[in-house]
Structure 1
Amino acid sequence: MTTKRWPTELRLAKDKTSLRIAFDDGAAFDLPAEYLRVTSPSAEVQGHSPAQRKTVPGKRNVQIISVLPVGNYAVRLVFDDMHDTGIYGWDYLFELGTEMPERWQAYLDELAAKGLSR
């Protein structure tokens, strides 16, 4: 698996509520644990097609309890709700960082439309 970007820093916040990732092109993002949890690339969240994607409610206070390397191309995040099947590639983490405002608003809109809460 090839990646366009390479991380220069990957740091879990002391309170475990965010992950800082910086890249070799100078981009850097502080990604909240809740955001990472609800956008997990796992089949459990994304399904096997866009129609199967799930809206994950109730993760406002979720924490990341472990960051595990997967080869040299990704990390597997373990959350305190025991979700641990998402493998976050460097390119996906970059996308999550650059697209966070739009993705977060879309998530909030989905929650509201379905009568769910964070």
Structure 2
Amino acid sequence: MAIEHDKAWPEQLRVSADRRTLNVRFADGRSCELEAELLRVRSPSAEVQGHSPDQRVTVAGKADVTISNVLPVGNYAVRLVFDDGHDTGIFTWKFLSETGETKDEVWAGYIAELAEKGLSRTA
């Protein structure tokens, strides 16, 4: 059965005690752990994604970033505030659902992109 990410609805969002992971449990029984670093470097904000694919920025040096706050945005998303000051990404339920399902591929793509550009996860 295909997952309908557009209809993904979280029952619970919880930041881990060390603030490095967002734990999401969806109403359909799925759950995922999304690392703060991954969410920060793939933030859906214009600052990271740009206004077109060729404007997307590779964000390096965020291995130690943590989530400072989770703020509701209507009934469709949250705004994550990171300890490096980034706070403009609106993380929709669809985004969280898709990222949870494709996390391994997203991580691999990020690591490859860093290597290609001579960048590092650490500062």
Q: TM tier, shorter chain?
A: over 0.9
Q: TM-score, normalised by structure 1?
A: 0.97
Q: Kindly indicate whether residue 76 of structure 2 is the aligned counterpart of residue 80 of structure 1.
A: no
5+ residue gaps, structure 2, are 1-5
Give the structure 1 partner of residue 45 of structure 2: 42
Give the structure 1 partner of residue 59 of structure 2: 56
Q: Kindly indicate whether residue 116 of structure 2 is the aligned counterpart of residue 113 of structure 1.
A: yes
Give me the whole-angstrom Cα distance separating, in 1, the residues matched to 2:54 and 2:8. 29
2:7 aligned counterpart, secondary structure: coil
Percentage of matched positions with identical amino acids? 60
Displacement over 3 Å in runs of 4+: none
Q: CA deviation at 1:26?
A: 0.9
Q: TM-score, normalised by structure 2?
A: 0.93
Q: CA deviation at 1:85?
A: 0.1
Give the structure 2 partner of residue 21 of structure 1: 24
Could you give the per-residue CA deviations for residues 92-113 of structure 1, whole angstroms, max 9, x where no partner exists? 0001100100011000000000
5+ residue gaps, structure 1, are none
What is the number of equivalent residue pairs in this alignment?
116
